[in-house]
Amino acid sequence: MKKIVLFLSTVLTCQLCLAQATVTTVEYFIDADHGIGLNTLLTITEGEDITAAILATMPSTISIGHHKLYLRTKDSDNQWSQTYRKSIEIIPPQTPNNIVAGEYFLDADPSYGTGTTFAINPQVVDIDQAFMVQIAQSAPLGYHKVYGRVRDSYGHWSLTFRKNIQVVENPDKSIVAIEYFFGNDLEFANNTIVTLDNPEADGSWLFSVPYPAGPYSFDDVLFVRAKDSNQKWSHTAILDEIDPSLSVDQIIGNNFLKVYPNPVKNNITITSSLSFDVQTISLYDMTGRNVFTTTENTRILDLSHLHGGMYTLMLTTTIGTASYKIIKQ
C-alpha cells in the first residue's frame, strides 16, 4: 500500500530563466536521482512564481524511517532550477490504539509486565471494566494498596492507578442466635433472644413470637436480626407479623381502608368508603431501610421506581392507621 506525505513547498523559481519565463514543470524523487526530467512529475498551475501544497506519493517499497525528498522545476524556456531537498520520515500505518492487557499488584511494584494479569474485553480505545483481585493467603491482615495499569496495542503502559483495601480475617461462622422486638430497639443483645439449637451459616428457623400485651395496633412492626459465631450482629430486618396469605380486606380488619392492586407493578391506590385524608405514607424494604416517605395527601402511590420484592407499607390517615406487606412485581 502506498504511503503519502504532505509538505508545503517554498517559492520555486527558475534561476536561469528570463524575466518572462514561467514555471511549467515540477519533478521529485526519493533519495536517488534518476536524471533531470526522468523523475516523478507533479501537476501544477504554471506561473512565474509558484507556492503550492504538494502531495507526493511514496512507493510501496519504501522502507520505514528517515529519507530525503528532492524536487526541482523547469520553466517555459526549458531551463531547470537547482534541486531542493526536504527531510521526511516514513512511519508505520496507524491502527486503533486499543487497550489489550491489564495487570495488578499488591503494595510493591514488580516492574512492568510482571504483575498479575487480567483480561480486557472488549479490547477498545477506552474501557470501563471491573476485574477481580485475588489476595494471597500470605497477605498480612490490615491495610494495603492494590495497584493496576493497562497496556495498549503498541506496547505502551498507562499510568498506574491505586485503590486502598483492608484485609480482614474471615473464619467460618454460623448463625447462633436471633433477637426480635416490637417498637423501640433496646440495642443489640438487649431484646428478646432465641438461641438456635443447630447453628448454620445459612438456614431457616421457626420460632414463636408472642405478641406484646395490650391492644393490637396496625402500627406495630416486628424487627428481627441475627448473631453469628463471631458475635457479629446482622442488619435489622422488618417483618410483618400478619400472615402474608391474608387478603388486604382481612388485614384491614374493619375494612375502613382498601389498598390495591397487591401485587403491584406501577401504581397502588388507597380508597375507603369513608372520607379521609392521608397524613403519612412510609415504605420500608425487608432490611428495615426506609425507601420512601411522603406527607402528601394522595390516593395514588407510584411504585414504578422500586425493584421487585417485598415491602412494608405504613399508612397514617385521619380515620386510622394500617401496616401491611406490599409485593412489587
**pLDDT (0 to 100) of residue 148:** 93
Amino acid present at 19:
A
- What average pLDDT does range 64-82 have in this prediction? 90
Amino acid present at 115:
G
**pLDDT (0 to 100) of residue 69:** 92
**pLDDT (0 to 100) of residue 247:** 42
Question: Per residue in 269-293, is it b (16+ CB within 10 Å) or e — as a string?
Answer: ebebeeebebeebbbbbeebeeebe
Phi–psi pair at 316, nearest 5 degrees: -120, 125
**pLDDT (0 to 100) of residue 291:** 87
- What average pLDDT does range 171-190 have in this prediction? 83
**pLDDT (0 to 100) of residue 181:** 85
Q: Which range scores top for mean pLDDT: 1-15, 66-80, 267-281?
A: 66-80
Q: Which range scores top for mean pLDDT: 100-104, 226-230, 312-316?
A: 100-104
Residue 127 pLDDT greater than 70, yes or no? yes
Rounded distance between C-alpha atoms, residue 315 and residue 311, angstroms: 13
Average pLDDT, the chain: 79
- What average pLDDT does range 291-314 have in this prediction? 85
- What average pLDDT does range 6-30 have in this prediction? 62
Q: Which range scores top for mean pLDDT: 46-55, 175-184, 252-261?
A: 175-184
- Per DSSP, 76 falls in state T
Chain-centroid distance of CA 304 in Å reads: 24
Q: Say if residue 140 is preceded by a cis peptide, omega within 30 of 0.
A: no
Where do the domains of the chain lie? 3-90, 99-167, 175-239, 248-328
**Taking a C-beta distance cutoff of 8 angstroms, is the pair 88, 28 a contact?**
no
Is 90 in a helix, a strand, or coil? strand
* More confident: 19 or 84: 84
Rounded distance between C-alpha atoms, residue 35 and residue 38, angstroms: 5
For CA atoms 121, 126, 128, 131, the dihedral sign is positive
Reported as a single tens digit per residue, the pLDDT across 166-180 is: 887 666 678 889 998
Grid coordinates belonging to 24? 511549467
- What average pLDDT does range 226-248 have in this prediction? 67
**pLDDT (0 to 100) of residue 104:** 95
* More confident: 1 or 142: 142
Closest CA relative to residue 324, chosen from 257, 235, 228, 226 = 257
Reported as a single tens digit per residue, the pLDDT across 114-124 is: 999 999 888 88
**CATH second-level architecture of 3-90?**
Sandwich (2.60)
Rounded distance between C-alpha atoms, residue 246 and residue 324, angstroms: 10
Same fold across 3-90 and 248-328: yes
CA distances from 68 to 33, 65, 120 (A): 11, 10, 42
Is 298 in a helix, a strand, or coil? coil
Amino acid present at 2:
K
**Taking a C-beta distance cutoff of 8 angstroms, is the pair 47, 91 a contact?**
no
Residue 132 pLDDT greater than 80, yes or no? yes
Listed in sequence order, the residues at least 6 apart from 314 whose beta carbon sits closer than 8 Å to its beta carbon are: 219, 221, 280, 281, 282, 283, 284, 321, 322, 323
DSSP line for 103-160: EEEESS---TT-SEEE--SS--SS-----PPPPPTTSPSEEEEEEEEEEETTS-B-PP
**pLDDT (0 to 100) of residue 2:** 45
Pick the CATH number of 248-328 from 3.40.50.970, 3.40.640.10, 3.90.76.10, 2.60.40.3080: 2.60.40.3080
Query: Using alpha carbons only, what angle is made at residue 171 by residues 166 and 173, rounded to the nearest 5 degrees?
Result: 125
For CA atoms 237, 241, 247, 253, the dihedral sign is negative
- What average pLDDT does range 84-97 have in this prediction? 82
- What average pLDDT does range 37-42 have in this prediction? 90
Q: How confident is the model at residue 157 (pLDDT cuts 50, 70, 90)?
A: very high
